[in-house]
Chain A
Amino acid sequence: MVLVRSILVSGLLILAGCSSTHTIDTDFPIPLIERIPASGYLNLTPEFQQYNFIQDEEDRSDMTVILGPAQSSMFSSISDALFAEAAASAKSADITLLPDLDSYQYALPKETGSDFFEVWLKYRLQALDKDGQPIADWLITGYGRATDERLQTQGAGVNEATVEALRDIGTQLTLGFSQQADIRAWLDQNSI
């Protein structure tokens, strides 16, 4: 009996130390900006909506971050706020947005010796016109930081830092969309 308990306790400790799964859980606010007088469509691929970041490098603890639903929610909020009208399909939209996650990186307090969980997200965002022709194609990097507070779990820290990074992407996208050179040129060209 003692042997079974030892094995169970050891097993649980090893499992807890070696792998973890965190679901990024948040509701994104609708940005408070003036809408572009055009119709927009957000093309979220199934891979994007179901994306999980899986950390399996040998020198770091295994970690899975379920990011798909959260990043989809963020881009939906942004798209709703950017355009005066939401189009039902890419063919009926003035502009179609096609986001793709380029990279997800994180740093834990125990790795850096700092008091923060940190997350970097890099997205590639393509904007296409009605005919599917590219209007713009650019990379956006977001950064999020969460204070490592006492008794806070790793999951809570990673979640908070990732949400901050997503919000940072949303901030840059909403405030910078019309200022992006190719988008600006296209808006001017179409008298929008």
Chain B
Amino acid sequence: MVRPELNLDLRIYVVLAVVLLVGCSSVTVDEMRLTETEIDLESDTVVVLGRQHSPAYEAEGDLVSCVASQLRSGSQGLSVVPDEEFVDALYPWFEPRTAPLSLERLENLLDRPILQNAIDSFAVRYIIWIEGATETTDSSGGMSCTISAAGGGCLGMGMWEDESTYEASIWDFHELQEAGRVSVDSRGTSYMPAVIIPIPFLARVQTNSCRGLGDQIQSFIVEG
């Protein structure tokens, strides 16, 4: 039997532990609308693709997958074509060296009936291109670990700051024009103290960027 005051103390500690386990972070989302948007949630699809033509713009694969999942979620969830399925079906036209960097280039590609038919089969209404990256901008502290037959352990404290910047360009595939852009900036500090066992308190910078970007793109497209 747990005494009521002890139960309250325990809850406070659990809440504190959860707060500490998530490092400090901040997210800023911006939107620029160029045209009105409309989508039939029953029949239209979207595809989310990462730019890969240059290391400076290359979005991580797990970020692209995360944004796609975010777009599928909620009551206004979109139908999202898996990026690998789309790129494989259109191989080799959406590879790093061939993917269209402009709408004019996409329009040229669509002059080939074989390509037009393949894209039509996905019922794609919007192509969402993502570029950007998450980088560790600063780190400090130190930790030393030892391992032996009798056991092992670590001692020290490490901390690092992550920053992420992503921009999504939303192409209207029916009208062949850019509907708008959504960008997100996120930063956060993570900590890892270690007394025998290292315990990471992670600022989920990339995850926060993914959620911010995904939610904003979804409302951008659905709410027109």
Show the binding face of A for B, using Cβ within 8 Å: 2-3, 5-6, 9, 29-34, 114-116, 145, 147, 149, 164, 167-168, 170-172, 174-175
| Nearest CB on B from A31, distance (A) | 5
Chain B residues in 8 Å Cβ range of A34: 112, 114
| Nearest CB on A from B125, distance (A) | 21
How far is it, in angstroms, between the C-alpha of A45 and the C-alpha of B26 when the chains are bound? Answer: 57
Chain B residues in 8 Å Cβ range of A167: 91-92, 95
| Nearest CB on B from A12, distance (A) | 11
* Complex contact B96–A168 (CB within 8 A): yes
* Complex contact A9–B91 (CB within 8 A): no
- Taking A29-B91, A115-B55 as known contacts, 13 extra A-B pairs with beta carbons closer than 8 A to each other, sorted by chain A number, are A5-B149, A30-B91, A31-B91, A31-B92, A32-B89, A32-B93, A114-B55, A147-B61, A167-B91, A167-B92, A171-B91, A171-B95, A175-B98
Show the binding face of B for A, using Cβ within 8 Å: 52, 55, 58, 60-62, 88-93, 95-98, 112, 114-115, 118, 135, 147-150
How far is it, in angstroms, between the C-alpha of A169 and the C-alpha of B30 when the chains are bound? Answer: 39
* A5 and chain B: residue at smallest CB distance: B149
Chain B residues in 8 Å Cβ range of A5: 149
| Nearest CB on A from B55, distance (A) | 6
CB < 8 Å: which of B88, B96, B148 contacts A164? B96
How far is it, in angstroms, between the C-alpha of A145 and the C-alpha of B95 when the chains are bound? Answer: 12
CB < 8 Å: which of B60, B88, B98, B115 contacts A29? B88
Chain B residues in 8 Å Cβ range of A116: 55
* Complex contact B90–A32 (CB within 8 A): yes
* Complex contact A9–B96 (CB within 8 A): no
* Complex contact A149–B147 (CB within 8 A): no
How far is it, in angstroms, between the C-alpha of A6 and the C-alpha of B92 when the chains are bound? Answer: 52
* Complex contact A149–B114 (CB within 8 A): no
* Complex contact B92–A174 (CB within 8 A): yes
* Complex contact B148–A147 (CB within 8 A): no
Chain A residues in 8 Å Cβ range of B98: 171, 175
- Pick the most buried of B95, B115, B135: most chain A CB atoms within 10 A of its CB: B95
* Complex contact B58–A32 (CB within 8 A): no
